[in-house]
Structure 1
Amino acid sequence: MLALLPRLRRLARALARDAADADDLCQITVEKALLARGSWQPGTRLDSWMYRIMRNAWIDTARARGRASETFVDAEAGVGIGSDGGGEARVALGEVEAAMRRLPDEQREAVALVLVEGLAYKEAAEVLDIPMGTLTSRLVRGRQALMLDLGEAA
C-alpha cells in the first residue's frame, strides 16, 4: 500500500484540483482501505481497488460540501507547480494541470486513470463503475479538449 501512495496522490490531485483537498482525500482513502482491508481479494489489483475507494470517497466529500464548485480553486492556481526540469518544464506542467482542472469531472477522471495512472480501459471502467464504451467516449472527448486547450496555450 505504501508503494501506491505517489500514484494515489496523483489521482487525488486530478480529482480534487487542490493540493490540500488531495492530501485529505489520500488520507481518507488509506484510512478506508485499512478499515476495509478484509474486503480486498488477494490476487486482484490493489491499485484498482484503492482507486475505487478514492473515487467513492471523493464523491462522498463533494456531496457533503453541497456544491462541488466550492471545493475547487481558481483555474490559474498552481500554474508554476513542478520541481523537475527547468522553468519551461514547470510552466508546461502547470499548463497541463490547469487544462486538466478545466475538464468536466467525468472526462478528468477517465483521463487521470488511463493516461496518467496507466490503467487498462477495462480496469478504469471498473473503477468508475461505467461501461467500457462510456469510458472510451469520455477519454476521446477529454483528449480532444486537452489538445485544444493546450494547443491554444502554446
Structure 2
Amino acid sequence: MPRVWRYALVLTRRRDTADDLSQNTALRALDRAAQYTPGTRLDAWVFTIAGSIWRNDLRAAAVRRGQGVVPVEDVDLADGRPDAETNILAREVLSLVTELPDAQRDAVFLVYVEGYSYLEAASILDIPVGTVMSRLAAGRRKINEAVKGKEAEG
C-alpha cells in the first residue's frame, strides 16, 4: 500500500486526496479481485485501477485539479534510505518530478521511480508506448534544464 499511496500522491498532489484515492483503489481491487489475471504483475494491475479512478474523479470534479501541492519535504520516501545525502538527492529529484506537467510526471514516475517498463507504463496509463517515450524524453529535458539552472545559481 505505500507504493499505491505514493502513486496516488503523484497523481493528486494532495495528501488527503491521495489517502482517499489509495483507499478507493484498495476497495476496488478487493471488489474486483476475480478480474485479476494470475501470473501478471499485481502492482501494475492496482496502479491501473488507481489511475482509472483518478481520471474518473477528474472528469466528475474538475475542481480537484491544482488545489494544494504537497511540499516535497512532507513526502515520505521509501524506507531503507542509506544516508542523508541520498535522502536529500531523492527529495530533490522527487521535487523536480512533481513540478513536471501531469502527463510527463505520470510517465516519469512510473518508469523511473517505480521501475515499470515502457510497455507496462503505457498499459497503466492507457496510452501508446510511443507516447510514453515522448513524455519521458520531454520530462528528462525539463529536469535537465532545471538541474542546469540550479547549478548556474549555486
With normalisation by structure 2, the TM-score equals: 0.82
Residue 104 of structure 1 pairs with residue 106 of structure 2: no
User: What corresponds to 2:136 in structure 1?
Assistant: 139
TM-superposed CA distance for 1:81, in Å, is: 4.3
| Structure 1 counterpart of 2:58, from 62, 83, 91 | 62
* Percent of aligned pairs with the same amino acid: 38
Q: Where do 5+ consecutive residues of structure 1 fail to align?
A: none
Q: What is the CA–CA distance in structure 2 between the aligned matches of 1:81 and 1:39, rounded to whole Å?
A: 32
Q: Where do 5+ consecutive residues of structure 2 fail to align?
A: none
User: What corresponds to 1:78 in structure 2?
Assistant: 72
Do 1:100 and 1:108's aligned partners in 2 also have CA atoms closer than 8 Å? yes
**Structure 1 SS opposite 2:4:** helix
With normalisation by structure 1, the TM-score equals: 0.82
TM-superposed CA distance for 1:134, in Å, is: 0.9
The alignment covers a number of residue pairs equal to: 147
Change over 3 Å in CA distance of 1:70–1:64 after alignment to 2: farther
Residue 15 of structure 1 pairs with residue 11 of structure 2: yes
Q: What is the RMSD computed on CA atoms of the aligned residues?
A: 2.2
Q: What is the CA–CA distance in structure 2 between the aligned matches of 1:91 and 1:152, rounded to whole Å?
A: 18
Q: What is the CA–CA distance in structure 1 between the aligned matches of 2:94 and 2:101, rounded to whole Å?
A: 13
Residue 40 of structure 1 pairs with residue 36 of structure 2: yes
